Amino acid sequence: MTETAHFVDGDKELDFTKVRATDGQFGYDVNGLLSTTGNIMLDPGFVNTASCESKITYIDGGQGILRYRGYPIEQLAEHASFLETAYLVLNGELPTAAELETFENGIRRKTLIDERMRDLFRCFPRRSHPMPVLSAGIMALSTFAHTPTSADLDTLDDAAVSLLAKVPTLAAYGYKNSMGQPTLYPDNSLSYIENFIRMSFGFPTEPYEFNDAITRGLEVLLILHADHEQNCSTSTVRMVASSGANLYSAISAGVNALSGPKHGGANQAVVEMLQFIRDSGMTTKEFVEKVKNRESGIKLMGFGHRVYRNYDPRAAIIKKHADKILELHTGRQDLLEIAKELEETALSDDYFKERKLYPNVDFYSGLIYEAMGFPINMFTVLFAIGRLPGWIAQYREQVSTSDKIWRPRQIFTGADERDWVPIDQRG
């Protein structure tokens, strides 16, 4: 039986159908609200609004649960590879051994980028931030891809494999460019993660030696970032997809949305915050007091989340890896100590308890990336490489389940109609 919720506004009445979820909150389908009442809903920041139905990722923010296609993040981080996770996120099921091999080989064959694309990197200033370079690189890729301007499901799979293959190459080239070092061609005898590590840290003149803890650590971090339902960048991807724009345009827009410090840029901001605490000689308690003083405008970066009102399960997994990886880079253990103390101070403070503010995925990830050897401005790029399968899956779900362009409304609160005034009569 269809369940409904009754809505009354004066003499106007309407039944909202309750859309059941597999788990978690159901949704009131407010379709018909405008045509029946002449009015719309106001929900700044979409705090109460589901923009779509989705089968990809489930989050229970109160319990700290995250599952891709039903599989708990803890199990995937423990047992899966990144490309196996990407296959799951994209296709809905874990691959068989044969399916995984075909998927991996398809990606391996496409890791090279056009030679003229390599020239593109020379146009960017030496110290340019690798995020805008990645975003521009993805749009440049689309000019070589002969992709139709509209979303075309037939070419989508090819574009998806191409992006999964080439984005790590682009990211490594952006990094090498920022360091003024020569770029390396991909080596397709290596795994996805190894290939990216070698293109980032290797030199054409000598063989690269891998460290297993770093390779697996990076793989786990990418798995943890593979999707996170309707966050800011993913909603941006779906918004662009809804216009019929191609996958490259949507993913490039997602990269731009991710760059903000309230979103993917937070991992960079956390390390800068920890460095500030260390260099200023402030205690963590003094810093927490500064955060609580609203006039300072300072937030505790890496804390708080729109959906999690509990420990972010990804942060818990990362924290377990932090000690192991930071052992490799003893110079950074001072920041890890500050981070742990800061976490303890905040978690025992009423301000954070009352608001249910816990560490999120970015609290420890930046420290690990740095211990692996990545400079601070690469952290968000690593987040983007991890999030790519999720963005592609969400794009595909968007274009295959709805042909409606996304077009939010507004409540207009500006000036009422008034007449134009000649310039000499104004003031």
- State the catalytic residues: 305, 362
Parallel, antiparallel or unpaired: strands 12-19 and 27-29 = antiparallel
**Which two three-digit tokens encode residue 118?**
């390599």
Cβ distance to ligand CMC smaller for residue 145 or 301? 301
CB of 187 to ligand CMC, least distance (A): 31
Cα separation, 245 vs 249, in Å, equals: 6
Query: Shortest Cβ contact with ligand CMC: which residue?
Result: 304
Degrees to nearest 5, angle at CA 154 with 118 and 68: 80
Only one residue has tokens 């490039």, namely 252
Cβ distance to ligand CMC smaller for residue 104 or 312? 312
Sheet architecture: strand order including 65-68: 57-60, 65-68, 71-72
Only one residue has tokens 């499901």, namely 153
Question: Can you give the binding site for ligand CMC, defined by CB under 6 A?
Answer: 231, 262-264, 266, 291, 299-306, 355, 357, 360-362
Cβ distance to ligand CMC smaller for residue 139 or 232? 232
Nearest to residue 150, comparing CAs of 249, 73, 21, 257? Answer: 249
CB of 164 to ligand CMC, least distance (A): 21
CB of 329 to ligand CMC, least distance (A): 23
What SS3 class is residue 276? helix
Cβ distance to ligand CMC smaller for residue 219 or 362? 362
Cα separation, 80 vs 84, in Å, equals: 6
Amino acid at the residue 132: P
Cβ distance to ligand CMC smaller for residue 11 or 354? 354
Which residues, including other chains, have CB under 8 Å from residue 415's CB and lie 6 or more apart? none
CB of 267 to ligand CMC, least distance (A): 8
Polymer length in residues for the chain: 427
